Structure 1
Amino acid sequence: MTTVAAYAAPAAKAPLERTTIERREVGEHDVLIDIRFAGICHSDIHQAREGWGDAIFPMVPGHEIAGVVSEVGPGVTAFRVGDRVGVGCMVDSCRECENCRAGREQYCTGGGMVGTYNALGKDGEPTYGGYSQKIVVDENYVVRIPDGLPLDVAAPLLCAGITTYSPLKRWGAGPGKKVAVLGMGGLGHMGVKIAHALGAEVTVLSQSLRKKDDGLKLGADHYRATSDPKTFEELRGSFDLILSTVSAPLDFDAYLSLLRTEGTLANVGAPEEPVSLNLFSVLGGGKTLAGSMIGGIAETQEMLDFCAEHGIGAEIELIDAAGINEAYERVLNSDVRYRFVIDTATI
């Protein structure tokens, strides 16, 4: 076992504090990664504060991890010492179910994927995430970060990037398609960049026009305020796809009205509260209300290669580890443009 410094929540809703954790020895197919940067995802806050249900404490959050390989197990073939790599939201799965074999490990039905943190590994031990100096991960759940992507702006791609890329690709965002991105935050700003790079006509739907200049700069063709009733009147029946990145309950009936016939509203935001829906909102027009959760390992690598090809990284604010608790509060107040990233050298 190796002892490394980390930041952990000792209990639900408690401030994160510096501590130490144990990492397992490097096994046959393991990769030891010196973590350089770790993104702060809203999911980290949901879990550290038990917004999504009971959690495992102490908790070391972080599933947007970018670093450099410092050791490999004797059976590792995909990576070498010195490689630039990333780890996202999962570090294992059953590997045998239909979904795992099809590259959809995030939907593993053989016991479920093993989360990078707030989960139990196959050894029965809790997993600890990226707010730490090092991590040991099976090579099958590690991805390569292309040389064209700086590690700090690449880190958020391991969640925010793949979370938006996967549904945009799945529901055909591209030339000739009108795509709306609902919410202009950590996920939403990546959705705008990726949808634009895929060739779609992109509209941002945000509560206000406060971030309009940013949205247009990042690739949006249009930017509309959802607080203005005229938005719903004028855009009725406009979109092939709406990507909702919002983690609060929505008036789904209103947003479904913005879809064209047989359009899709795909949700990647995960509110803590239940939502309601009038089914006539999907029956009329044959519309689809869908969900999507991250992406498989192969698709995550595809996303990273796509982002490198198109010069896409996250818009970040780099912080020291001592600022994590303040960053959490600022995320909740929508006071970040657009992703906090921890410089893990400061842990």
Structure 2
Amino acid sequence: MTTQATTVPAYAAPAAKAPLERTTIPRRAVGEHDVLIEIKYAGICHSDIHQARDGWGEGIFPMVPGHEIAGVVTETGPGVTAFAVGDRVGVGCMVDSCRVCDNCRAGFQQHCANGSVMTYNALDKNGEPTYGGYSTHIVVDEAFTVRIPDGLSLDVAAPLLCAGITVYSPLRHWNAGPGVKVAVVGLGGLGHMAVKIANALGAEVTVLSQSLRKKDDGLSLGARHYYATSDDATFEALAGTFDLIISTVSAPLPLDRFLGLLKTDGTMVNVGAPEEPVSLNLFSLIGGRKALAGSTIGGIPETQEMLDFCAEHGLGAEIEVIRADQVNEAYERVLRSDVRYRFVIDTATI
């Protein structure tokens, strides 16, 4: 790799719903404030599947998914001050933003008023498509690169760049901590990190899952209680129980039933993003002055805060490392909830 634009190996979906296949993609030259990262591990997020299959709208193809990136800096631009060659770094869901709007200036780049540039399936400021982490290298502005603390190995850190920050941000914003009862809906890639982080923050955590199949896992991850939502008795027993509910599932939920589990002034936050619309009876909010909210990832400062918190508390993701040529099989297994709890691609196998 040099300061010249180059091509690197990657796995890409050539068209919507097509199997991913090995290919090569362009990477820009290392600019003034860029770092070149040799990617070591890339997590597979459910949103990769949504986008590769046009579940959230028309995508840009060929598409190289992957926004849970962990690697090592191998080159820096002349103006880079935050990183040096050899540093362990991560890249999450964004690689740029306008940097001048109120949200960007406040460190909320995920809410950029002019639109963040996503790590893949987006166009950069030059109109060129962005390609994600299912590749051997990526060039990123230092302002959208975060440091992975020494206390976290790169493989278990990779999923934190999306799954970790996606649940950390709402848990912090809605003040999860001692004396707060938190319910996590779904024990998957997002949910298992929500349980770990909420428990580390001091909250009393309950998992609400379709069945009790993963109960032992949930309790070992830090949950105090575990209930099956397929059992109607769950909604009767837990009515008015929780201060905060974090829904991590990407399927439509019967929101009215779940809102009934909140205390007065409680909040249900959705971080899972179903492809289909959901329905709601507003009386479920009016009674008890409850709130239904949404949350996405965090900004760059909060993402760094999350990584430092996870390192301090020893909170890596629970992972299954796979070869790159297993990615299509992994997608099908994610859809069957057959992973505990995050697939991570060893990019040396690309």
- TM-score normalized with structure 1 length: 1.00
Distance 2:316 2:245 in 1: 22
Cα deviation, residue 2, structure 1 = 1.2
Match of 2:306 in 1: 303
Kindly, what percent of the aligned residue pairs are identical? 80
How far apart, CA to CA, are the structure 2 residues paired with 1:313 and 1:341? 12
**2:199 corresponds to 1:168:** no
Q: How does 1:177-326 map to 2 (within 5 A)?
A: 177-326=180-329
2:41 equivalent to 1:6: no
Secondary structure, counterpart of 1:37 in structure 2: strand
Question: In the alignment, does 2:335 pair up with 1:339?
Answer: no
Q: Letter of the aligned partner of 2:263 in structure 1?
A: R
Measure the CA separation in 1 of the matches of 2:146 and 2:126: 23
1:37 paired with 2:68, answer no
Matched residue type, 1:153: V
> What secondary structure does 1:302 align onto?
helix
RMSD, matched Cα: 0.3
| Matching residue of 2:21 | 17
Give the drift of 1:335.
0.2
Q: d(CA) in 2 for partners of 1:301 and 1:23?
A: 25
Question: 2:154 corresponds to which residue?
Answer: 151
CA distance in 2, matches of 1:200, 1:235: 17
Task: Indicate whether 1:83 and 2:87 are aligned.
Answer: yes
> 2: CA distance between counterparts of 1:322 and 1:9?
13
CA offsets 1:265-297 (integer angstroms, 9 cap, x no match): 000000000000000000100000000000000
Letter in 1 for 2:306: M
Of residues 39, 63, 74, the one that matches 1:59 is 63
- What letter is aligned with 1:37? Y
Distance 1:55 1:21 in 2: 17
Corresponding residue pairs, total: 346
SS class of match (2:334): helix
Shift of 1:3: 1.0
Q: In structure 2, what is the Cα distance between the partners aligned to 1:154 and 1:103?
A: 22
Q: Distance in 2 between matches of 1:22 and 1:46?
A: 24
The letter of the residue matching 1:255 is F
Question: How far apart are 1:223 and its partner, in Å?
Answer: 0.3
Once the 2 structures are TM-superposed, how far is the Cα of residue 89 of structure 1 from its aligned partner? Answer: 0.1
**TM-score, length-normalised on structure 2?**
0.99
Runs of 4+ in 1 over 2 A off after TM superposition: none
What secondary structure, in the 3-state scheme, does the structure 2 residue paired with 1:68 have?
strand
Cα drift, residue 260 of structure 1: 0.1
Letter of the structure 1 residue corresponding to residue 17 of structure 2: K
**Unmatched 5+ residue regions in structure 1?**
none
Matches of 1:346 and 1:123, distance apart in 2: 31
Long gaps (5+) in structure 2: none
Alpha-carbon distance between aligned partners in 2 of 1:246 and 1:36, rounded to the nearest angstrom: 28
CA distance in 2, matches of 1:104, 1:327: 32
Cα shift readout 1:46-85 (whole Å, capped 9, x = no counterpart): 0000000000000000000000000000000000000000
Q: Give the distance between the partners of 1:302 and 1:78, measured in 2 at CA.
A: 16
Question: AA paired with 1:208?
Answer: S
Classify the secondary structure of the residue corresponding to 2:51. Answer: helix
Task: Report how far residue 330 of structure 1 moved.
Answer: 0.1
